[in-house]
Structure 1
């Protein structure tokens, strides 16, 4: 039995987390917005505790406003954008291409999350979308985004999948702290 993780696993040493456009004016229209924000918070807190780089994007922050306050307080690195796909923003792309799997969460699943994922994938990056931390105004749009992402080879995961893969083991000192976030 080996102690080496298979290459398809998400590792803290080989992941980046991006929270896409979780802004109050957008959240007001998102189906299940509270759950999206809560799940984004779980991801961000765990990423920070385990040393995973985290950033957020903001669509037209001058017009729509900044990242929602609970997340903004935890994510100092934020990229404003004019394109729906953050992959078309040079400063963000330089950060995202810094290595590993880029995990995306946020809104809207069928617009900015989808276009960013497809753009990063087309550039040869490994991309995952955290399904239970991504939302849209309409459930059908959200589901269509996941169907399309799957068809294009984007990894679809859940918050708990990510957290437990990042942890790798139960005997880590951070295990109980992360477990409290889940429960």
Structure 2
């Protein structure tokens, strides 16, 4: 299957943290699209995992995204896969839809670690952030070269819906308007 299978999906939200976000280029857009993904995942029962990098230094997840209905993994490694508990929270049959910051550091290293571990990964380009646009674009190209599918928030929403007859269709459309 070339489209994102909602029955096998898991949403991974990487390091949208309070002390980091003010420095992120187009950070408001990345947060808004991550919120849409989180809300959509809730509508169609897709599990969500959050990571926080060095929370003592970078703060907790921004208030706009914080929710209690997800698993949170604290980490010090840039690549979340290197954290002992991470792969246990991400079943091997899941396709990972990834959003986060910074695209060229923790997102990229985690995505490359997931691909190296044999996982299918979809990187949501309009829900990524870096301090510099050049770093973000370079990271996207690198992740794609190594096997990540590059998608947008709207692509994810419609692939998770699969059909206009989906019972949550109207609610999903409201998220992207």
Q: TM-score range by the shorter chain?
A: over 0.9
Matches within 5 A, 1:92-103: 92-103=86-97
- 1:3-59 CA-to-partner distances (Å, cap 9, x unmatched) read xxxx12112111000100000111011001110100000000000110101011000
Structure number with higher helix proportion: 1
Structure 2 residue ranges without an equivalent (≥5): none
Match of 1:70 in 2: 64
The answer to whether the 8 A contact 2:92-2:119 is kept is no
- Confirm or deny that 1:148 pairs with 2:142: yes
Match of 1:11 in 2: 5
The answer to whether the 8 A contact 1:44-1:74 is kept is no
Match of 1:87 in 2: 81
The answer to whether the 8 A contact 1:55-1:75 is kept is no
**In structure 2, distance between residues paired with 1:43 and 1:74:** 15
Q: CA RMSD in A?
A: 1.1
TM-score, normalising length from structure 1? 0.93
Shift, 1:99, TM fit: 2.3
TM-score, normalising length from structure 2? 0.96
Match of 1:40 in 2: 34
The answer to whether the 8 A contact 2:47-2:70 is kept is no
**In structure 2, distance between residues paired with 1:166 and 1:52:** 9
Match of 1:181 in 2: 175
Match of 1:125 among 119, 130, 142: 119
**In structure 2, distance between residues paired with 1:147 and 1:95:** 27
Aligned to 1:90, the other structure's residue is in SS state coil
**In structure 2, distance between residues paired with 1:98 and 1:77:** 16
- 1:49-105 CA-to-partner distances (Å, cap 9, x unmatched) read 101010110001122111111211355421100100111112111112342211110
- 1:135-178 CA-to-partner distances (Å, cap 9, x unmatched) read 10000000000110111111111001101000000011211101
